[in-house]
Amino acid sequence: MIFLRYCFLALILIGSSLAQETRGTGQCYLNYKNKTSVCSNYISPSDYIYFDGSNTDDSLKYLKVAQGLSILKPNDQTQQCIDAFSSYACALTYPKCQEDKENKASLQPLCQSTCTNVISSCASSSDPIVLNYIIQSPLFPKNESCSEKIINISTTSLTIQSDQCNSEQRLSPSSTCFAPLIEDIMYTIDKSKTLNSQYCLNGCCLPCPQSYLLYPSGYLEKGFLATQIVRAISAITSFIIFISYLVLPGKKSHPSSLILFASLSIFLYSSNVFFSLGNPRMVQCTNAVEPSTQENNALCGFQGAWLVFASYATAVWIGIIIVNLHLHTVWNSNIIGREYVYLHLAGWGIPIILTIIALVTKSIMYQFATLCLVQQSKANFIFFYPLAAIVLPSFFVHMATFFHIAKISREEEKRNSIESEITNEFTAHKRHVLQVIKIQWRALLLALLLVLTVIFYWIFYFFQLGNISNGPTSKEFLFEWLQCIQQGKGQDVCSEIASKYMPPFWLIIAAEMSPSFIGVDLFCIFSNTSLWREWKQWMSELIPTRKQIEVPDQFFAI
């Protein structure tokens, strides 16, 4: 049985070998691999194409680059040159073959006009860059009269046919889009249509998100993934602090209750990452080319509104903490602790109103990183100016509190140095300040970190985001970068051109990472020994130990 199997296998191998010989010598066969799509329009389903498996990429790469560069500057004369050379090069590389009734194969000779068209059409071309790639090709005709015998890349001799040969129809090459560009499928069907007029040109498009293409491949993907992971950690850690101040009895009194609302705001802000974590393109893009807006992507609109609301709420509640600390320290006033109704109206009402304004003006869209936010052209008036109106006064109040504390410390040192008698009033005020700082220094530090974060991000957004959002649409930059891409140099090499127009990679990641840490900062500042001691005590009261459980005597009665 085993012997028969081996015999059967041997017969198959011998048969396939004979078939290959027959196929290579006496029959036409089709072995076209549509890798480059350079000659895809030349080959039709009814054609027999002789191709012996030789590597044609090296010979056709010049044609491919010429076709790619022609996309950037449409020119009738240049296009005629490319069309003529495409027809000639494809007919030369993939000669047509016919079989008669006896299955005898014969290769079809090239028309002389197919060759002469190349010379006449390219002689009038005015684009030296495209023309240079065509002339450099080893397939370009070397004899102006096109009367010589042509040696095909497949080592088959083809003769130019001049008698009884009409001019062949020129090949109209399809768009050659070098990676990372993608083909405009609408343009392929109808040249008057396009997927996106802003990001597509003559059949090739910059895929969304466009800013990712302007840095070495994978840089922004990996960098923003790191910021998303940090933001997710911030969401978890801020949720722990929120639950702690919500549940633990010792955290429910003023001013600790202010931390409860601030931690809730920070949790809402950080949890925004879960809209895009793992698949940011569902928020960034509405299709392969077009960035998301609140009108074409409901998820982008909802996520952007969430982010705007949480940003304002965080700023307002941190501002309330700063004002409360100032009143308590400088003026010895506890007015905020008695007006919680107005605090909630301000803490949640202001963010709701400003978020509604952003939605009504249709300002939310994707422009940067992995989240939707207010578009750059409206960001200052709708987002950053109102945010600055909250943060900057808080910063000045924060500094006033700091200088007051410093003044108290200097006066104490001065009095001690001259051994003067300290009045009871000053002593009481000093003790009050020190007590407040001892209790609320954590809130003071959190407020300072938030103010610095907002200022840093605003500066980056104001000065650099315009480059990120407008870079892919700048005609000067776009042509230079696309010319590099369409020469087949690749995204990594062409990113050097983009570096002249775009912010440094490290600055982008730093700007996105700074607000991502706010939840981690909250956790590190307020997660102390006292907090875990309160959790332990709360758990022990909630779940009594065995010794604390009293079982009635009747339970043991029979």
172 vs 201, higher pLDDT? 201
pLDDT tens across 531-550, in order?
888 888 888 877 765 555 55
Nearest to residue 330, comparing CAs of 446, 444, 447? 444
Q: State residue 428's pLDDT score.
A: 53
In order, the DSSP letters of 320-367 are HHHHHHHHHHHS----GGG-HHHHHHHHHHHHHHHHHHHHHTT-EEEE
DSSP secondary structure code for residue 293 in this structure: B
Pairing of strands 364-368, 371-374: antiparallel
Question: Is the per-residue pLDDT at 403 higher than 60?
Answer: yes
CB 132 within 8 A of CB 487: no
Encoded tokens for 420: 């003067």
What percentage of the chain reaches a pLDDT higher than 70? Answer: 72
Q: Which pLDDT does position 537 carry in this prediction?
A: 85
User: Of 350 and 452, which is predicted with more confidence?
Assistant: 350
Higher pLDDT, 352 or 195: 352
**Residue 486 pLDDT > 80:** yes
Mean pLDDT of the region 381-398: 80
Q: Which residue has the higher pLDDT, 335 or 6?
A: 335
d(CA 70, CA 357): 46
pLDDT at 227: 92
Determine the Cα–Cα distance for residues 245 and 264; give it in Å rounded to an integer: 10
Judge contact between 447 and 394, C-beta under 8 A.
Answer: yes
Lowest mean pLDDT among 50-64, 68-82, 173-187, 316-330: 50-64
Q: Tell me the backbone φ, ψ of residue 322, rounded to 5 degrees.
A: -65, -45
pLDDT at 383 over 90: no
**Which residue has 């409360």 as its token pair?**
324
Which tokens hold the place of 342? Answer: 């107005």
Q: 473 vs 201, 248, 466, 481, 518, CA distance in Å?
A: 11, 54, 11, 11, 33
Q: What is d(CA 140, CA 115) in angstroms, rounded to the nearest whole number?
A: 9
Contacts of 133 (CB under 8 A, 6+ apart): 62, 63, 65, 66, 69
Please give the mean pLDDT across all residues of the chain: 76
Which of 5-19, 152-166, 316-330, 540-554 bottoms out in mean pLDDT, i.e. has the lowest? 5-19
CA–CA separation, 208 and 120 (whole Å): 41
Q: Assess whether pLDDT exceeds 80 at residue 280.
A: yes
Cα angle: 418, vertex 419, 422; to 5 degrees: 110
Nearest by Cα to 398 from 292, 316, 318, 497: 318
- Beta strand 204-205 with 200-201 is antiparallel
Q: Per residue in 202-222, pLDDT tens? A: 888 889 998 888 899 989 999
Could you tell me if 168 and 111 are in contact, meaning their C-beta atoms sit under 8 angstroms apart? yes
Instruction: Specify the 3-state DSSP secondary structure of 184.
Output: coil
Q: What is the pLDDT of residue 14?
A: 40
CA distance 111 to 164: 9
Most confident of 223-232, 368-377, 446-455, 492-501: 223-232
pLDDT of residue 164 exceeding 80, the answer is no
Structure tokens at 442: 């954590």
The residue count for the chain: 558
Work out the average pLDDT over 432-454.
67
The yes-or-no verdict on residue 456 having pLDDT over 70 is yes
pLDDT at site 42: 72
Task: Report which DSSP code applies to 384.
Answer: I
Q: How is residue 291 written in tokens?
A: 């960035």
Q: Which domains does the chain have, with CATH numbers?
A: 25-147 (1.10.2000.10), 210-417+424-542 (1.20.1070.10)
Strand order in the sheet with 48-49: 48-49, 96-99, 105-107
pLDDT score, position 188: 75
What are 382's two structure tokens? Answer: 């709708």
- Reduce the DSSP state of residue 252 to 3 states and report it: coil
Asked if the model's pLDDT at residue 355 lies above 60, the reply is: yes
Q: According to the model, what pLDDT value does residue 555 have?
A: 41
| Mean pLDDT for the stretch of residues 10-29 | 45
Q: How far apart are the first and last CA of the chain?
A: 81
Cα 243 from chain centroid? 33
Q: Is 192 exposed, middle or buried (0-12, 13-18, 19+ CB in 10 A)?
A: exposed
Token pair for 260: 């409860």
Q: What is the pLDDT of residue 465?
A: 65
Q: Is 466 exposed, middle or buried (0-12, 13-18, 19+ CB in 10 A)?
A: middle
Whether residue 85 contacts residue 133, with contact meaning beta carbons closer than 8 Å, is answered with no
Range from 187-191, 406-410, 461-465 that averages highest in pLDDT: 187-191
Q: How confident is the model at residue 83 (pLDDT cuts 50, 70, 90)?
A: confident
Helical spans, DSSP H, in 165-218:
185-189
Amino acid 353: pLDDT: 94
Most confident segment among 30-44, 94-108, 279-293: 279-293
Asked if the model's pLDDT at residue 183 lies above 80, the reply is yes
Q: Supply the pTM of this predicted model.
A: 0.76
